Structure 1
Amino acid sequence: MRTVRPAGDVEKIRKDLARDLVAEIRTLDKQLTENSARMQSLVETTGSTLMKTPGIGPVMAARLIGRVGRADRFPTAAAFANYAGAAPVEIASADKARHRLSRSGDRQLNSVLHTVTVVQIRVPSSPGHAYYQRKLSEGKTPKEAKRCLKRRLADHVWRVMIADERRTTLSVTTA
Protein backbone atom coordinates (compact mmCIF):
# COMPACT_ATOMS: atom_id res chain seq x y z
CA MET A 1 0.00 0.00 0.00
CA ARG A 2 2.94 2.34 0.61
CA THR A 3 3.99 2.24 -3.03
CA VAL A 4 0.52 3.17 -4.31
CA ARG A 5 0.28 6.87 -5.15
CA PRO A 6 -3.33 7.94 -5.71
CA ALA A 7 -3.80 10.25 -8.68
CA GLY A 8 -7.10 11.78 -7.62
CA ASP A 9 -9.77 11.93 -4.96
CA VAL A 10 -11.43 8.66 -6.01
CA GLU A 11 -8.12 6.80 -5.85
CA LYS A 12 -7.42 8.28 -2.40
CA ILE A 13 -10.75 6.93 -1.15
CA ARG A 14 -10.00 3.52 -2.67
CA LYS A 15 -6.60 3.45 -0.97
CA ASP A 16 -8.16 4.40 2.39
CA LEU A 17 -10.80 1.67 2.00
CA ALA A 18 -8.14 -0.88 1.08
CA ARG A 19 -6.03 0.14 4.09
CA ASP A 20 -9.08 -0.25 6.36
CA LEU A 21 -9.83 -3.68 4.91
CA VAL A 22 -6.25 -4.86 5.39
CA ALA A 23 -6.31 -3.68 9.01
CA GLU A 24 -9.63 -5.45 9.59
CA ILE A 25 -8.33 -8.68 8.04
CA ARG A 26 -5.23 -8.56 10.24
CA THR A 27 -7.41 -8.07 13.34
CA LEU A 28 -9.69 -10.97 12.40
CA ASP A 29 -6.72 -13.19 11.59
CA LYS A 30 -5.24 -12.48 15.02
CA GLN A 31 -8.60 -13.30 16.67
CA LEU A 32 -8.82 -16.58 14.74
CA THR A 33 -5.33 -17.55 15.87
CA GLU A 34 -6.18 -16.74 19.49
CA ASN A 35 -9.47 -18.69 19.25
CA SER A 36 -7.69 -21.70 17.82
CA ALA A 37 -5.13 -21.64 20.64
CA ARG A 38 -7.90 -21.33 23.25
CA MET A 39 -9.84 -24.19 21.68
CA GLN A 40 -6.75 -26.38 21.66
CA SER A 41 -6.10 -25.77 25.35
CA LEU A 42 -9.76 -26.42 26.20
CA VAL A 43 -9.82 -29.66 24.17
CA GLU A 44 -6.62 -30.77 25.89
CA THR A 45 -8.13 -30.07 29.33
CA THR A 46 -11.02 -32.41 28.49
CA GLY A 47 -8.54 -35.21 27.89
CA SER A 48 -9.86 -35.83 24.40
CA THR A 49 -7.72 -37.76 21.92
CA LEU A 50 -9.76 -36.67 18.88
CA MET A 51 -6.85 -34.56 17.59
CA LYS A 52 -4.83 -37.73 17.02
CA THR A 53 -7.17 -38.51 14.13
CA PRO A 54 -5.87 -37.15 10.81
CA GLY A 55 -7.95 -34.19 9.70
CA ILE A 56 -9.15 -33.28 13.18
CA GLY A 57 -7.39 -30.24 14.58
CA PRO A 58 -8.28 -28.16 17.61
CA VAL A 59 -11.18 -26.36 15.94
CA MET A 60 -12.78 -29.53 14.56
CA ALA A 61 -12.27 -31.35 17.87
CA ALA A 62 -13.89 -28.46 19.76
CA ARG A 63 -16.81 -28.44 17.34
CA LEU A 64 -17.28 -32.20 17.70
CA ILE A 65 -17.16 -32.07 21.49
CA GLY A 66 -19.46 -29.06 21.56
CA ARG A 67 -22.05 -30.54 19.20
CA VAL A 68 -22.06 -34.08 20.63
CA GLY A 69 -21.76 -33.40 24.34
CA ARG A 70 -21.55 -36.81 25.98
CA ALA A 71 -21.13 -39.57 23.42
CA ASP A 72 -22.46 -42.20 25.83
CA ARG A 73 -25.96 -40.83 25.26
CA PHE A 74 -25.84 -42.77 21.97
CA PRO A 75 -26.15 -46.51 22.64
CA THR A 76 -24.37 -47.51 19.42
CA ALA A 77 -22.17 -46.07 16.69
CA ALA A 78 -25.13 -46.46 14.34
CA ALA A 79 -27.27 -44.23 16.56
CA PHE A 80 -24.50 -41.62 16.57
CA ALA A 81 -24.13 -41.81 12.78
CA ASN A 82 -27.88 -41.41 12.41
CA TYR A 83 -27.85 -38.37 14.70
CA ALA A 84 -24.98 -36.88 12.70
CA GLY A 85 -26.74 -37.52 9.39
CA ALA A 86 -23.91 -39.81 8.26
CA ALA A 87 -25.98 -43.01 8.14
CA PRO A 88 -27.02 -43.87 4.59
CA VAL A 89 -30.71 -43.98 3.76
CA GLU A 90 -32.01 -46.46 1.19
CA ILE A 91 -33.82 -44.89 -1.74
CA ALA A 92 -35.84 -47.30 -3.85
CA SER A 93 -37.40 -46.45 -7.15
CA ALA A 94 -38.99 -49.13 -9.32
CA ASP A 95 -36.64 -52.12 -9.15
CA LYS A 96 -33.48 -50.16 -8.34
CA ALA A 97 -32.35 -49.53 -4.76
CA ARG A 98 -29.53 -47.16 -3.89
CA HIS A 99 -28.32 -45.23 -0.85
CA ARG A 100 -27.80 -41.58 -0.13
CA LEU A 101 -26.89 -39.64 2.99
CA SER A 102 -29.67 -38.54 5.25
CA ARG A 103 -30.67 -34.92 5.02
CA SER A 104 -31.79 -34.98 8.62
CA GLY A 105 -29.66 -35.01 11.72
CA ASP A 106 -27.36 -32.39 13.17
CA ARG A 107 -26.21 -30.48 10.09
CA GLN A 108 -23.31 -28.76 11.87
CA LEU A 109 -22.01 -32.08 13.13
CA ASN A 110 -22.41 -33.48 9.63
CA SER A 111 -20.43 -30.52 8.31
CA VAL A 112 -17.53 -31.34 10.65
CA LEU A 113 -17.54 -34.98 9.52
CA HIS A 114 -17.66 -33.85 5.88
CA THR A 115 -14.65 -31.57 6.39
CA VAL A 116 -12.65 -34.33 8.05
CA THR A 117 -13.64 -36.69 5.23
CA VAL A 118 -12.45 -34.27 2.54
CA VAL A 119 -9.18 -33.64 4.39
CA GLN A 120 -8.49 -37.37 4.74
CA ILE A 121 -9.24 -37.96 1.06
CA ARG A 122 -6.77 -35.23 0.09
CA VAL A 123 -3.94 -36.44 2.35
CA PRO A 124 -2.35 -39.50 0.73
CA SER A 125 -0.77 -40.75 3.98
CA SER A 126 -4.07 -40.84 5.91
CA PRO A 127 -5.98 -44.06 6.55
CA GLY A 128 -9.09 -42.40 5.10
CA HIS A 129 -7.34 -41.90 1.76
CA ALA A 130 -6.44 -45.59 1.55
CA TYR A 131 -10.02 -46.55 2.47
CA TYR A 132 -11.42 -44.15 -0.14
CA GLN A 133 -9.11 -45.54 -2.83
CA ARG A 134 -10.09 -49.10 -1.89
CA LYS A 135 -13.78 -48.23 -2.24
CA LEU A 136 -13.12 -46.66 -5.65
CA SER A 137 -11.28 -49.81 -6.77
CA GLU A 138 -14.32 -51.86 -5.66
CA GLY A 139 -16.36 -49.98 -8.26
CA LYS A 140 -18.01 -47.35 -6.09
CA THR A 141 -18.50 -43.85 -7.47
CA PRO A 142 -16.57 -41.02 -5.78
CA LYS A 143 -19.76 -39.89 -4.02
CA GLU A 144 -20.48 -43.40 -2.76
CA ALA A 145 -16.88 -43.84 -1.59
CA LYS A 146 -17.02 -40.49 0.24
CA ARG A 147 -20.31 -41.52 1.86
CA CYS A 148 -18.71 -44.78 3.06
CA LEU A 149 -15.72 -42.90 4.47
CA LYS A 150 -17.94 -40.38 6.26
CA ARG A 151 -19.87 -43.20 7.91
CA ARG A 152 -16.64 -44.91 8.90
CA LEU A 153 -15.33 -41.64 10.38
CA ALA A 154 -18.58 -41.20 12.33
CA ASP A 155 -18.04 -44.66 13.84
CA HIS A 156 -14.40 -43.81 14.62
CA VAL A 157 -15.29 -40.47 16.26
CA TRP A 158 -17.94 -42.15 18.41
CA ARG A 159 -15.51 -44.88 19.54
CA VAL A 160 -12.80 -42.32 20.37
CA MET A 161 -15.24 -40.14 22.33
CA ILE A 162 -16.58 -43.16 24.24
CA ALA A 163 -13.02 -44.28 25.08
CA ASP A 164 -12.16 -40.74 26.23
CA GLU A 165 -15.24 -40.61 28.46
CA ARG A 166 -14.47 -44.01 29.98
CA ARG A 167 -10.85 -43.02 30.62
CA THR A 168 -11.98 -39.75 32.26
CA THR A 169 -14.59 -41.55 34.39
CA LEU A 170 -12.07 -44.19 35.40
CA SER A 171 -9.48 -41.60 36.41
CA VAL A 172 -12.06 -39.67 38.46
CA THR A 173 -13.28 -42.78 40.31
CA THR A 174 -9.73 -43.98 41.10
CA ALA A 175 -8.53 -40.58 42.26
Structure 2
Amino acid sequence: MLDPVNVDAVLVTVRSLAMDWQEFADQATVLGVVVALAVGIATTIVMIRQEKVTRDGQRLQREQAEATAARTEAAAALTEEYTRRVVEALETMAANSTKPAITSEAKAARWTLVHQHRSRYLLTNVGNADAKNVRVSAHESLPLLGLDEAPEEVRPHEAVSFLAVRAFGTRDSTITVTWTDSETGEDRTWKYPLPPGS
Protein backbone atom coordinates (compact mmCIF):
# COMPACT_ATOMS: atom_id res chain seq x y z
CA MET A 1 0.00 0.00 0.00
CA LEU A 2 1.16 3.46 -0.85
CA ASP A 3 2.09 5.85 1.76
CA PRO A 4 -0.33 8.85 1.83
CA VAL A 5 2.63 11.26 1.64
CA ASN A 6 3.93 9.54 -1.50
CA VAL A 7 0.48 9.69 -3.13
CA ASP A 8 0.45 13.47 -2.67
CA ALA A 9 3.95 13.70 -4.21
CA VAL A 10 2.86 11.65 -7.25
CA LEU A 11 -0.24 13.82 -7.71
CA VAL A 12 1.84 17.03 -7.52
CA THR A 13 4.31 15.60 -10.04
CA VAL A 14 1.51 14.55 -12.47
CA ARG A 15 -0.17 17.92 -12.08
CA SER A 16 3.09 19.85 -12.77
CA LEU A 17 3.80 17.66 -15.84
CA ALA A 18 0.29 18.32 -17.16
CA MET A 19 0.81 22.07 -16.66
CA ASP A 20 4.15 21.92 -18.52
CA TRP A 21 2.51 20.15 -21.47
CA GLN A 22 -0.36 22.63 -21.50
CA GLU A 23 2.10 25.52 -21.49
CA PHE A 24 4.05 23.86 -24.33
CA ALA A 25 0.83 23.36 -26.34
CA ASP A 26 -0.14 27.04 -25.82
CA GLN A 27 3.28 28.20 -26.98
CA ALA A 28 3.12 25.90 -30.03
CA THR A 29 -0.32 27.32 -30.93
CA VAL A 30 0.96 30.90 -30.64
CA LEU A 31 4.00 30.02 -32.74
CA GLY A 32 1.76 28.40 -35.38
CA VAL A 33 -0.43 31.51 -35.55
CA VAL A 34 2.63 33.78 -35.90
CA VAL A 35 4.07 31.58 -38.68
CA ALA A 36 0.70 31.51 -40.48
CA LEU A 37 0.49 35.33 -40.29
CA ALA A 38 4.04 35.69 -41.60
CA VAL A 39 3.32 33.34 -44.51
CA GLY A 40 0.09 35.23 -45.26
CA ILE A 41 1.88 38.59 -45.27
CA ALA A 42 4.71 37.26 -47.45
CA THR A 43 2.20 35.76 -49.92
CA THR A 44 0.31 39.04 -50.08
CA ILE A 45 3.53 41.00 -50.76
CA VAL A 46 4.55 38.56 -53.53
CA MET A 47 1.08 38.78 -55.11
CA ILE A 48 1.15 42.61 -55.02
CA ARG A 49 4.58 42.63 -56.69
CA GLN A 50 3.44 40.15 -59.35
CA GLU A 51 0.38 42.28 -60.09
CA LYS A 52 2.58 45.37 -60.43
CA VAL A 53 4.95 43.57 -62.82
CA THR A 54 1.95 42.33 -64.83
CA ARG A 55 0.43 45.84 -64.98
CA ASP A 56 3.78 47.34 -66.04
CA GLY A 57 4.16 44.69 -68.76
CA GLN A 58 0.63 45.31 -70.03
CA ARG A 59 1.23 49.08 -70.05
CA LEU A 60 4.46 48.64 -72.04
CA GLN A 61 2.72 46.33 -74.53
CA ARG A 62 -0.13 48.83 -74.91
CA GLU A 63 2.31 51.71 -75.54
CA GLN A 64 4.22 49.66 -78.13
CA ALA A 65 0.98 48.64 -79.84
CA GLU A 66 -0.18 52.28 -79.95
CA ALA A 67 3.17 53.39 -81.40
CA THR A 68 3.01 50.62 -84.02
CA ALA A 69 -0.54 51.62 -84.95
CA ALA A 70 0.49 55.28 -85.24
CA ARG A 71 3.46 54.35 -87.47
CA THR A 72 1.17 52.27 -89.67
CA GLU A 73 -1.31 55.12 -89.93
CA ALA A 74 1.45 57.58 -90.83
CA ALA A 75 2.79 55.20 -93.49
CA ALA A 76 -0.72 54.82 -94.95
CA ALA A 77 -1.12 58.61 -95.07
CA LEU A 78 2.25 58.93 -96.80
CA THR A 79 1.26 56.25 -99.33
CA GLU A 80 -1.99 58.09 -99.97
CA GLU A 81 -0.03 61.32 -100.58
CA TYR A 82 2.32 59.52 -103.01
CA THR A 83 -0.64 58.02 -104.85
CA ARG A 84 -2.27 61.43 -105.19
CA ARG A 85 0.95 62.90 -106.57
CA VAL A 86 1.37 60.05 -109.06
CA VAL A 87 -2.20 60.52 -110.27
CA GLU A 88 -1.61 64.28 -110.67
CA ALA A 89 1.63 63.61 -112.57
CA LEU A 90 -0.13 61.11 -114.87
CA GLU A 91 -2.96 63.56 -115.51
CA THR A 92 -0.43 66.29 -116.32
CA MET A 93 1.43 63.95 -118.65
CA ALA A 94 -1.82 62.99 -120.37
CA ALA A 95 -2.80 66.63 -120.76
CA ASN A 96 0.64 67.50 -122.17
CA SER A 97 0.83 64.48 -124.50
CA THR A 98 -0.66 66.52 -127.35
CA LYS A 99 1.88 69.33 -126.86
CA PRO A 100 5.32 69.19 -128.45
CA ALA A 101 8.03 67.60 -126.30
CA ILE A 102 10.23 69.92 -124.29
CA THR A 103 13.86 69.27 -125.10
CA SER A 104 15.35 70.35 -121.79
CA GLU A 105 14.43 68.93 -118.41
CA ALA A 106 12.87 71.43 -115.98
CA LYS A 107 15.22 72.47 -113.22
CA ALA A 108 14.20 71.25 -109.79
CA ALA A 109 15.64 69.87 -106.58
CA ARG A 110 14.88 66.19 -105.99
CA TRP A 111 15.82 64.09 -102.97
CA THR A 112 16.98 60.65 -101.93
CA LEU A 113 17.27 59.40 -98.36
CA VAL A 114 19.52 56.44 -97.58
CA HIS A 115 20.70 54.69 -94.44
CA GLN A 116 24.45 54.98 -93.87
CA HIS A 117 25.40 53.34 -90.58
CA ARG A 118 23.56 52.65 -87.30
CA SER A 119 21.36 55.76 -86.78
CA ARG A 120 23.05 57.90 -89.47
CA TYR A 121 21.17 58.83 -92.67
CA LEU A 122 22.14 60.77 -95.78
CA LEU A 123 19.75 63.15 -97.56
CA THR A 124 21.03 64.04 -101.05
CA ASN A 125 19.80 66.57 -103.61
CA VAL A 126 19.82 64.45 -106.80
CA GLY A 127 18.06 67.13 -108.82
CA ASN A 128 19.54 69.76 -111.11
CA ALA A 129 18.67 72.91 -109.11
CA ASP A 130 19.69 74.43 -105.80
CA ALA A 131 17.39 74.02 -102.80
CA LYS A 132 17.36 77.06 -100.49
CA ASN A 133 16.18 77.39 -96.89
CA VAL A 134 16.35 73.61 -96.47
CA ARG A 135 14.77 72.28 -93.27
CA VAL A 136 14.63 68.64 -92.23
CA SER A 137 12.06 67.61 -89.62
CA ALA A 138 10.22 64.62 -88.22
CA HIS A 139 7.48 63.73 -85.75
CA GLU A 140 8.27 64.65 -82.13
CA SER A 141 8.65 60.94 -81.27
CA LEU A 142 11.58 60.64 -83.74
CA PRO A 143 14.52 62.75 -82.50
CA LEU A 144 16.81 64.14 -85.22
CA LEU A 145 20.38 65.04 -84.28
CA GLY A 146 23.23 66.74 -86.12
CA LEU A 147 21.14 69.16 -88.17
CA ASP A 148 22.46 72.26 -86.40
CA GLU A 149 25.48 72.32 -88.74
CA ALA A 150 23.44 71.45 -91.86
CA PRO A 151 23.64 74.02 -94.67
CA GLU A 152 20.52 76.01 -95.52
CA GLU A 153 21.31 75.72 -99.23
CA VAL A 154 21.90 72.31 -100.80
CA ARG A 155 23.22 72.31 -104.37
CA PRO A 156 22.79 69.41 -106.82
CA HIS A 157 24.62 66.27 -105.64
CA GLU A 158 25.30 67.76 -102.20
CA ALA A 159 24.10 65.91 -99.11
CA VAL A 160 23.03 66.51 -95.53
CA SER A 161 23.97 63.90 -92.93
CA PHE A 162 21.99 63.48 -89.71
CA LEU A 163 21.08 61.01 -86.97
CA ALA A 164 17.54 59.71 -86.51
CA VAL A 165 16.94 57.75 -83.30
CA ARG A 166 14.02 55.40 -83.88
CA ALA A 167 12.66 53.63 -80.75
CA PHE A 168 9.66 51.52 -79.69
CA GLY A 169 7.77 54.72 -78.86
CA THR A 170 8.31 56.27 -82.31
CA ARG A 171 4.83 56.98 -83.63
CA ASP A 172 5.79 58.27 -87.09
CA SER A 173 9.11 57.71 -88.84
CA THR A 174 8.47 60.03 -91.79
CA ILE A 175 11.22 62.51 -92.67
CA THR A 176 9.94 65.83 -94.04
CA VAL A 177 12.14 68.13 -96.13
CA THR A 178 10.96 71.65 -96.88
CA TRP A 179 12.84 74.08 -99.10
CA THR A 180 12.47 77.07 -101.40
CA ASP A 181 12.78 76.28 -105.11
CA SER A 182 15.63 78.38 -106.49
CA GLU A 183 13.96 78.64 -109.92
CA THR A 184 10.41 79.60 -108.93
CA GLY A 185 10.84 80.87 -105.37
CA GLU A 186 8.01 78.57 -104.25
CA ASP A 187 8.15 76.56 -101.03
CA ARG A 188 8.24 72.80 -101.62
CA THR A 189 7.81 69.76 -99.38
CA TRP A 190 9.11 66.19 -99.75
CA LYS A 191 8.24 63.38 -97.36
CA TYR A 192 9.82 59.96 -97.13
CA PRO A 193 9.76 57.15 -94.54
CA LEU A 194 13.01 56.59 -92.70
CA PRO A 195 14.79 53.72 -94.51
CA PRO A 196 15.37 50.64 -92.37
CA GLY A 197 18.87 50.03 -91.03
CA SER A 198 20.94 47.25 -92.50
Higher strand share: 2
Higher helix share: 1
Q: Is TM more than 0.5 here? A: no
Specify the structure having the higher radius of gyration (Cα): 2
TM-score of the pair, normalised by structure 2: 0.30
